[in-house]
Amino acid sequence: MAYCIKCGVELSEYIKACPLCETEVLNGTENEEIINSDYPDYRMSPKDETKRVKHIFAGKILSVLFFDYAIILLILNILINKTVSWSMIPVLSLVLCWFGVAYPFFRKHNTFFRLFTMNCIAVIVYLLSLNLIISGDILWSRIAGLSIALLWVIMAGFFIPERIRKILPVTVYYILSSVILFVVITLLIGNQLSIFQVVLPLTILLLVLSLVSYFVIVARANDFLGMSSVILFDISVFCLVLDIIIVHYTKGTYMPSWSIIVNIVTIPLFATVHTIKKSRELKSLISKKLHR
């Protein structure tokens, strides 16, 4: 085994220069032509590279299909009506499908939140464009877009990076987001009665549900079944309260209608998920007791 003549570091036989002081090694062997590093450079495996090529190829095929359908629809519209009118609706739908289906194939790293964000933006733009084409305004689409934006804000709280949480705690994030959304909705609606009877109660409800859901999910260590049960519970409560608020605002009563159907679906699902979770915990507890 060789040693550096300057700093005394132990060297491998194939080393040409000391890695510490870069002093040239005079007795390097012929193995240096075969091995020239103690730590091989990182290279993407052929399997990963092949998978990446297949993803890009699939994205290109889907893009060509969506593009061809869009061109065909535009040409048919021009040939039949001598203008571009009804074809814009399916073309916009194809663009939305491209963002949701084809575009992710071109990205190297896809995460759930990144895809969710991209699809939220695409759906908002789609609804605004659709409303503008059909009615010449954005009356209903702005409300739908704000609802999607509110859903994104709620989901974003669960995916805030740890380095940002040190500066902006989750509780502060939800409070600020609720205030900003409330101001935006107030500016868009402009009706004071509807703001105080509909928008403000729903904003407070969503803020409370978001905060409680976040702390419950974090306390359960992001368990999938626990997260599913919390989301189902949130849907049940939100739909019920939303129905009651709208009925009271429009008819002056407190009798819910459509939310009963939603709860007939969500409550059994919530009970099933909760039972499965408790059953798994019971099995785990019994297993631990028997192995002691």
User: What's the pLDDT score for residue 39?
Assistant: 47
> Is position 261 within any domain?
yes
Higher pLDDT, 258 or 66: 66
Is 282 within a domain?
Answer: yes
Q: What is the mean pLDDT of residues 86-113?
A: 85
Q: Answer whether residue 228 is part of any domain.
A: yes
pLDDT score for 29? 47
Asked whether residue 256 is domain-assigned, the answer is: yes
Q: What is the pLDDT of residue 46?
A: 61
Contact (CB, 8 A) for 23 and 4: yes
pLDDT at 191: 62
Q: Is the pLDDT of residue 99 over 70?
A: yes
Q: How confident is the model at residue 64 (pLDDT cuts 50, 70, 90)?
A: very high
Overall residue count recorded for the chain in this entry:
292
Range of the domain at 14: 1-43
pLDDT digits (tens, 9 = 90+) for 229-244: 787 888 888 888 888 8
- Ranges 59-68, 106-115, 189-198, 200-209: which has the least confidence: 189-198
Which amino acid does the sequence have at 185? I
In a domain, 53, yes or no: no
Beta strands in 54-193 (DSSP E): none
76 has pLDDT over 50: yes
Backbone angles phi, psi at 2, to 5 degrees: -90, 160
122 occurs within a structural domain:
no
Model confidence at 52, pLDDT cuts 50, 70, 90, reads confident
Question: In a 10 Å sphere around its CB, with 0-12 CB exposed, 13-18 middle and 19+ buried, how is residue 223 labelled?
Answer: middle
- When pLDDT is cut at 50, 70 and 90, the band that residue 221 belongs to is low
CB 102 within 8 A of CB 66: yes
Q: What pLDDT sits at residue 195?
A: 67
- Structure tokens, 255: 């009798």
pLDDT at site 112: 78
Domain end among 43, 60, 75: 43
Mean pLDDT computed over every residue of the chain: 76
The pLDDT assigned to 42 comes to: 47
| 24 DSSP 8-state letter | B
274 assigned to some structural domain? yes
- Name 24's bridge partners: 17
> Percent of the chain at pLDDT above 90?
4
Number of domains in the chain: 2
Rounded CA-CA distance 216/221 in Å is 9
Residue 82 located in a structural domain: no
pLDDT of 112-149, one tens digit each?
788 888 888 888 888 888 888 888 887 778 777 877 88
Stretch 191-219: mean pLDDT: 73
